[in-house]
Copies of this chain bind each other. A is one copy, B any other.
């Protein structure tokens, strides 16, 4: 799970989900997005915080705001949806965020998936700076299977290469099941998510071995050395590297977006959001032969538990979500105070 990170630094404060969404929404609008873009980004960001995925929660706000201030992204972009074929939708995000592009094409994509059995959404000219699971999980809540990939910015050395080229290039997948929340995972094809390196650097923690290299290409466990001219490694050696390459091909080459190495934000100091593309594939499992998909996936979950697996992908998020719904979202009090100061 790319979005899992260490516990929140204390002291803690508690905030209701809707209050956090409202707060973030006001912050985004105040910093140059349209109300609709603010609504989507606030919901995404608050969902990550609610689920304990701190590296994609409030932690991201300064990066969003410095990017908006730099003029690198258009916070008011209106996505243009192109109905290309019975299973293929294209969106030009207009140099805006990817989430509004997905929202604009979503109902068309679902209709196509239900009619054709499978449909593809190709988003380009887009910025994705968030966790990827919020993009796929809602499809599974509607009984659909969804897969998404997004490329990011050069920070991963391909296996066997000398220099970074790929992004952290996550793959997210969601599938419904009969007796519980969807099965969902979201994994960076880098050995560690970029946000988790930033969090480790901020906390003064070391990285586990095998995660990254320094500016000379030498292995390092110092997150600052990775962030300052160093790079990440792919997970799982040549296999993770092959999957990261696949993400470049699907999220950039197949959408018409930039590869992770193709954009240059040097003229936009403060810019943090990768300007690339995103691909989603949505499948209607009711077209499957035999027993319902949700019953079959439930059987797999049952057998995974029987094999001794205590925690399924997504379980920790769903448990944290239940806790947040009950007592409010536990956030870093200092971070929350900083957020409120943005509105003064």
Contacts and interface: CB of A to CB of B under 8 A. Distances in A.
Interface in A236-292: 236-240, 242-243, 245-246, 248-250, 252-256, 259, 261, 281, 283-285, 287-291
Contacts of A296: 252-253, 259
Contact of A117 (B86, B161, B164, B249): B86
A215 to B, nearest CB: 15
A245 B86 contact: no
A126 to B, nearest CB: 12
A117 B120 contact: yes
A161 B313 CA distance: 13
B242 A236 contact: no
A293 B243 CA distance: 18
Interface stretch (A35-43, A62-70, A194-202, A301-309): A301-309
Interface centre among A289, A308, A310 (most CB of B within 10 A): A289
A344 interface: no
B297 A249 contact: yes
A87 B90 contact: no
A51 to B, nearest CB: 17
Interface string A210-254: 000000000000000000000000011111101101101110111
Contacts of A310: 160
A299 B259 CA distance: 10
Interface residues of A, number: 74
A287 B86 CA distance: 11
A137 interface: no
Given A118-B88, A162-B308, A300-B248, A253 B288 contact: yes
A54 interface: no
A116 interface: yes
A158 interface: yes
A5 B304 CA distance: 31
Given A116-B87, A158-B304, A313 B253 contact: no
Interface in A166-201: 171, 173, 175, 183, 185, 187
Given A239-B236, A242-B185, A259-B299, A307 B163 contact: yes
A12 interface: no
Interface string A80-96: 00101111101010000
B289 A158 contact: no
Given A86-B115, A249-B183, A304 B161 contact: yes
A239 B249 contact: no
Interface string A123-162: 0100000000000000000000100000000000110111
11 contacts: A88-B116, A90-B287, A92-B289, A158-B304, A161-B308, A161-B309, A185-B246, A187-B242, A236-B236, A238-B313, A259-B296
